[in-house]
Chain A
Amino acid sequence: MKFESILYVILIVLLGFGFALRIVSQGKQEIPKGVPIKLAATIKKEPRIYESNQVIEIGDGKVYVDLYPRFKVGDKILLSGEVDSEGRIFRPKVEVLGRRRSVSSFFSNIRLKISQNIASYLPSREATIVSGTVLGVDTIEKSFRDDLVKTGTIHVVVVSGQNLMIVAGVFLSLVRYFGRRKSLALACLAVITYAFLTGFEAPVVRASIMVILASIAIYFGRQMMPIWSLILAALLILFIWPQAIFEVSFQLTFAATLGIMTLGSWLTRILAGPVSSFLPAPSINSGQAVLRVYPERSRRAVGNPPTAVTRLIKGFIADNAAIATSAYIFTAPIILFYFGRISPLAPLANILVAEAVFPVMILGFLVALTSLVFSPLAQILSYIAYVPAYYFVKVVGFFAKIPIEQVSFGKGSLLAVLIFYLLIFILFAIWTKKPKSS
């Protein structure tokens, strides 16, 4: 333990130092501002599709064009138009010169193909939910997007660390079939595949690193000191992508993971308390304990069938509720900081939709993969995925309709964020402090 602590400290100091060095030497490709330009460029990031236009990122500039024709990653284009003072180019003349094939354009096209396939199997909102949980989407029809934002559930359909945690969790839960090592390897492989599917964009890769390290940490239990591992992972990421510290996605992933690891694991134990009191005492050192990314679910021991059912349901609901709540509480300050508004009903909406995320994701993965090889089977699977996705859409629709004021304060206030986190940590410390007598 001592040796490990020293190792951690050294690593953290080194990485912190490296990060500081790197951040000084960062630059971004700049395009000239406030002048007419003619510019040849290759599209590196998937264009974002909005209600009435596409937005293509070129260097630090943004190009706004009509919805059609659609542009793809790898397209070499010649732009002529005028850049405004903020680097935006509206409705320029765009000519496609050719295509450059690369690894990223290959994966981007697979991803595009999958989301087109899913869109052709399911009604639009359900398709957004399914491809959102599997791939992460940018293209969300405006009124649905508003509903998702209003109910605080948008993080489920954009790629987030939480989804990656679920992917890893599913594979780690296979431990009883494969054993520790294999299930851990499978989990990491799954996370990497997921990162591939989501386009290997920096935010996703960063989340994968964080999730993989955190999974390993939780998996090995206390010796690895999960929270330190998370900080280590974060520093490693910042070392490679220093500018990430200013990005919302990074901050949200970090906060959500931290929340799930700390408050989440505590809440699961608390919520499982009343449930486990129904259980026969768990066998000690059975060697069969199921380890998960999530604090383990409280249904290890096999009891009588009727209690097993209630326990299963309670355990499942309790776990999801714990994870959703903790992620929500820890990300709330960041969301307030950037967006300045949040719905008081969001935690409830999150808890309810969390129950559907798991089945949507598993089925969504199957749909995505089969759609590339055998479409009729994918169509059938998507009908099954439709059920939880429909439930998701209805929950969001229901909560979005409730006319309740969104809490709006603290936009852009760093002090509010700090106070919020301080309060969370103080409360957490008070509640988790063990009584002296024990």
Chain B
Amino acid sequence: MDQKTKIFLTLAVIFAGLGLLLIFSFQNLGKFRLIFCDVGQGDGMLLVSHSGKQIIVDGGPGTKIVDCLSANMPFWDRTVELVVATHAQKDHIEGLLEVLARYKVGMIAETKVNNSSELYRAWQKAVENEKAKVYVAKAGDRLSIDAKQGQTLSIDILWPDAQRLSQWQASPPSDLNESAIVLRVNYGPSTSSGFCAYLTADIPKETLQGLIEKECQILKIAHHGSKTGTNEEILNEVRPRLAIIQVGKNSYGHPTKEVLDLLRSKAVKILRNDTNGIIEIKSDGRTFGAKSAR
């Protein structure tokens, strides 16, 4: 066998391998996926639409989110359509800086409520360098993400409202959590029916209580299971079938016993990142299934 044949055969093998990998990667399409990455003590979520568009909500502390994205995105896809930074605290935005460095981002949603930290300055610089469209999230807006094959994926912004937002942009609230972006993700044949999930960041329960308009199957428990984020009224109104707690090793006592007991008393199934690892929810627009790494 001469040199040319060898090179040709090697390339042929590589391309055949590439083809197989492509086929594997396409198998995940057709359903909406909501992935709660195991980022340690913090929030980090990846949403993948039925036609393969990605949305990242928060990036957790450190850089662990990137590994989660690599494992759940096709290898050739280096674009994330939307990144949401709910509020500028380390356990929510640090990992997003690494996301901006590694992926091309179409749009960035944030509050522009200032956190006078070095990290926030680095974030602002990274957002500027990314040259993505920046959208300042305010309550009442609806983002249409994907509408194909008779299914629509949309995101409703529930918080913060425009009036408070402009106040906080001028002078930040004493607790930055109050200004966090709260979302409801809707997926199904129409926006009013089908599958939905509340993504609540670190919002205080008093605020969250007033934002619930309809029942949803999934509730991401606010503030890593802190007692400041969940109460009975919220659970009565959302009536979740599954509660997700994004939590890692911490010294705050998260998730608190009060919250866990409350969820159990309502017979809500609980999945948490510290004990279950990565959690993935798949939905066809009507039903959903959840699986976790552990």
Contact with A along B96-118 (1 / 0, CB 8 A): 01000111100000000000001
A311, closest chain B residue (CB):
B1
Q: Judging by beta carbons under 8 Å apart, are B122 and A69 in contact? A: yes
Q: Beyond A123-B73, A124-B70, A305-B1: 20 further Cβ-contacts under 8 Å?
A: A66-B118, A67-B97, A68-B119, A69-B122, A120-B102, A123-B70, A124-B67, A124-B69, A125-B70, A126-B75, A141-B63, A143-B67, A309-B1, A359-B10, A384-B14, A384-B15, A386-B18, A387-B14, A387-B18, A387-B21
Known: A51-B64, A309-B1. A119 touches B70 (CB 8 A): no
A309–B5 Cα distance when bound, in Å, is: 10
Total interface residues on B, CB under 8 Å, equals 34
Query: Which residue of the partner chain, among B17, B69, B102, B103, contacts A387 with CB atoms under 8 Å?
Result: B17
Contacts of A67 in B (CB 8 A): 62-63, 94, 97
Given contacts A305-B1, A386-B18, contact A68 B75 (CB under 8 A): no
A285 within 8 Å of B (CB atoms): no
CA A379 – CA B1 in complex, angstroms?
Answer: 31
Q: Quick check: A141 and B64 within 8 Å, CB to CB?
A: yes
Q: Judge if A116 is at the interface, Cβ distance under 8 Å.
A: yes
CA distance A383 to B77 in the complex (A): 11
Q: How far is the CA of A119 from the CA of B101 in the complex (A)?
A: 8
Interface residues of B in 7-53 (CB under 8 A from A): 10, 14-15, 17-18, 21
| Chain B min CB distance to A196 (Å) | 24
Residue interface bits A61-73, CB-to-B below 8 A is 1, else 0: 0000011111000
Can you list 22 residue pairs at the A/B interface with Cβ under 8 Å? Answer: A52-B61, A66-B118, A68-B94, A69-B122, A123-B69, A123-B73, A124-B67, A124-B69, A124-B70, A126-B75, A127-B102, A141-B64, A143-B67, A144-B67, A308-B1, A312-B1, A312-B6, A359-B14, A379-B78, A383-B18, A383-B75, A387-B21
By a CB distance below 8 angstroms, the chain B residues around A144 are 67
In the assembled complex, A122 has its CB within 8 A of some CB on chain B: yes
Bound complex: CA A197 to CA B103 (Å): 24
Question: Chain B interface mostly helix, strand, loop or mixed?
Answer: helix
Tell me, yes or no, whether A421 is within 8 Å of chain B by CB.
Answer: no
Q: Flag whether A392 is at the interface (Cβ < 8 A).
A: no
User: Given contacts A68-B119, A119-B101, A119-B102, is CB(A125)–CB(B67) below 8 Å?
Assistant: yes
Q: Which residues of A contact B66 (CB under 8 A)?
A: 124, 141
Within 8 Å of chain A (Cβ to Cβ): is B121?
Answer: yes
The reply to whether B78 and A121 contact each other, CB–CB distance below 8 Å, is yes
Q: Is A228 an interface residue (CB 8 A)?
A: no
